[in-house]
Every structure is written in structure tokens, then in C-alpha cells.
Amino acid sequence: MTIIVHHLENSRSQRVLWLLEELELPYEVKRYERDKATMLAPPELRAIHPLGKSPVIEDTAPQDGGGRRVVAETGAIAEYLVDRADGRLGSPSRRDAALDYRFFLHYAEGSLMPPLLLLLVLSRIPLLGKRAAKRVQPMLDRHLDFVEARLADRPWFAGDALTAADVMMSFPLEAAVSRGGLGASRPNTMAWLERVHARPAYQRALAAGGPYAYAGGPA
């Protein structure tokens, strides 16, 4: 085993396990549970990376022969692992598809995830939170409509083949089913999620990571 995944339950790190399974890279999982009161990551993660967040990986035998390397942030981890696998699931060769790949690789966290996080926070604020969520939902709906349109003529976000961009998009869209109103009214997106969940590598990642609330629909 050369790659250690510091995996927090019900978090973005599930995507890292899936990507590793798709790339067939050897890895080891170290699981962490959220604090039951705050739902935040435990302090033990700060010993791995100063931010104390998940996902974070340790590559104990980098290809360049250097010492132990720690990589944080899901997008950066995805790019690191694609490089580690000699470009598999990376950018397509066709220019337009390559631009789509780069866009969705970063759009997942940069644009789609923020309104979902805001809805999560607001759901924990009595009365005023529900009122504020009504203002956030239209913002999220615009993103979900955009995604639905982009999947109308392609099976995957960067074209005809699965890439790391699809892996990055999986968590926000799974979360959108759970708390963002994504459902049967957007059939292209739901069909994409079905294709994701049916992949053997995805199923292996679920087995490796343990219970995951977002894989089977609304939690």
C-alpha cells in the first residue's frame, strides 16, 4: 500500500476512494467519524494536515522518489492521482472536451457546492433558516438546470467517457438529491447518477469507505 486515504464518514473523501478504484491504484483507508454534536471532523485530522479537513491523502512512495507527501483538497487530490496513474481518467485529447473536463473538475467545488453548503447550514437554523433557504434554492436550481442541459447530449461531463471530472461532480449531485431538490424532474442528471452508482469501482469504493448516506438517494 502506498496511498493512505484519511476518510471522513459521509464526506467528499468518498470520491477519492472511487477515483482510486477506477484507477486501480493501491490504497489504504483510515476512517474517521464526525463529532456527534458538531458534525465536524475530529481533531486527529490536524495531525495529518494543519486544516484538519478530509479528504487528505498521504503518498508514502511518490513516483519521483521523494519522501512522504501529503495532498489535501479534493480537486488537487484528483489531479495528483490522475498524474499518478499516467493520465488515466484525465483530460481528453479533443480541445472542446478538454475544456469541459477542466471546467467541471473545478465547477463542482467552486460553484455547485457553495449553495448546497448554505442550504445545509440554514437547515439547522430554526424559523429564519427556512425563510433564507427560499432565497438560496433558486440559485441552486439554476445550477441544476445547467447541469441537466449539459447532460442532454452526452453520457459523461467531458464527453463519451468517464473522467475525473465526473468523479468530482458526484458528491455535490448526490448531496443535491438529499437536500437540494434534485429528482425525477431532471432525468438526464438522475440517469447520470444511476450510471455512476452502477459502476463496479463505485461499489468497491462504498465497501472500502463504510456507510455513506448519499449513495442511495435522499438521506
pLDDT in tens, 120-144: 888 878 777 778 888 999 999 999 9
Mean pLDDT for all residues in the chain: 91
Architecture of the 3-88+203-209 domain: 3-Layer(aba) Sandwich (3.40)
Topology match between the domains 3-88+203-209 and 95-199: no
Q: How confident is the model at residue 150 (pLDDT cuts 50, 70, 90)?
A: very high
Residues in the chain: 219
DSSP 119: H
Strand partners, 7: 31
pTM (2 d.p.): 0.92
The answer, yes or no, to whether residue 216 has pLDDT greater than 70, is no
The answer, yes or no, to whether residue 182 has pLDDT greater than 70, is yes
Say which range, 28-32, 53-57, 63-67, 112-116, has the weakest mean pLDDT: 63-67
The answer, yes or no, to whether residue 151 has pLDDT greater than 70, is yes
pLDDT at residue 156 in the model: 98
Distance CA 82, CA 101 (A): 13
Domain boundaries in the chain? 3-88+203-209, 95-199
The SS3 of residue 67 is coil
Which cell goes with 119?
442550504
Phi-psi region of 53 (alpha: psi -120 to 50; beta: other; left: phi over 0): beta
What percent of the chain lies above the pLDDT cut of 70?
97
Which cell goes with 90?
484525465
What percent of the chain lies above the pLDDT cut of 90?
69
Angle at which helix 113-122 crosses helix 128-150, to 10 degrees, equals 160
Distance CA 18, CA 3 (A): 14
pLDDT at residue 1 in the model: 54
The answer, yes or no, to whether residue 217 has pLDDT greater than 50, is no
Distance CA 212, CA 115 (A): 21
Q: Which amino acid is at 80?
A: Y
The answer, yes or no, to whether residue 50 has pLDDT greater than 80, is yes
Residue in 24, 58, 54 with CA at minimum distance from that of residue 41: 54
Residue in 19, 82, 83 with CA at minimum distance from that of residue 55: 19
Give the DSSP per-residue string, 135-169: HHHHHHHHHHHHHHHHTTT-SBTTBSS--HHHHHH
The answer to whether domain 95-199 has CATH 1.50.10.20 is no
The SS3 of residue 56 is strand
The answer, yes or no, to whether residue 72 has pLDDT greater than 50, is yes
